[in-house]
């Protein structure tokens, strides 16, 4: 019985730790992601957004995401939408390849470079 209470408190403490530690981080970023290679905004990120998103998000549908500053501003919302939160993008699916989503995630982790 005592053991049960001990583990229960341990669980509570770790739950609190996880919640408070995650507060400052970008949501949904995978901590195990391998981002050893520097992602190029101009060669990888911009083409991915231009090919898959700008037909709707080029000034019509909000958010407008056509250049480095707009894509940086909306980076978290874009990443979440690629993972289906709150709605999957591109609208109507299918989701982009995991490798492209990971590239975008690495680009955020590397400081959203304009390179």
Residue 16 or 28 having the CB closest to ligand HEC: 28
Residues 6+ apart with CB under 8 A from 70: 63, 64
Rg (CA), the chain: 18
Residue 35 or 54 having the CB closest to ligand HEC: 54
Q: Smallest distance from the beta carbon of 43 to ligand HEC, in angstroms?
A: 17
Q: Smallest distance from the beta carbon of 90 to ligand HEC, in angstroms?
A: 4
Which stretches of the chain bind ligand HEC, using CB under 6 A? 52-53, 55-57, 61, 63, 74, 77-78, 81-82, 86-87, 89-91, 96
The CA-atom distances, in angstroms, between 105 and each of 14, 27, 32, 41, 75 are 26, 11, 11, 12, 9
How far is it, in rounded angstroms, from Cα 50 to Cα 79?
15
The CA-atom distances, in angstroms, between 98 and each of 43, 79, 95 are 18, 12, 8
Q: Smallest distance from the beta carbon of 65 to ligand HEC, in angstroms?
A: 6
Residue 77 or 113 having the CB closest to ligand HEC: 77
Q: Smallest distance from the beta carbon of 115 to ligand HEC, in angstroms?
A: 20
């Amino acid at each position: 019985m005592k053991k049960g209470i001990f583990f229960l408190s341990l669980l509570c403490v770790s739950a609190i730790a996880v919640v408070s530690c995650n507060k400052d981080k970008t949501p949904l970023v995978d901590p195990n992601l391998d981002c050893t290679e520097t992602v190029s905004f101009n060669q990888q990120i911009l083409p991915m957004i231009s090919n898959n998103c700008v037909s709707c998000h080029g000034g019509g549908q909000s958010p407008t995401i056509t250049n480095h500053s707009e894509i940086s501003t909306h980076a978290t919302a874009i990443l979440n939408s690629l993972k289906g939160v709150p709605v999957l993008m591109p609208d109507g699916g299918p989701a982009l390849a995991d490798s492209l989503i990971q590239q975008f995630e690495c680009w955020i982790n590397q400081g959203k470079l304009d390179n």
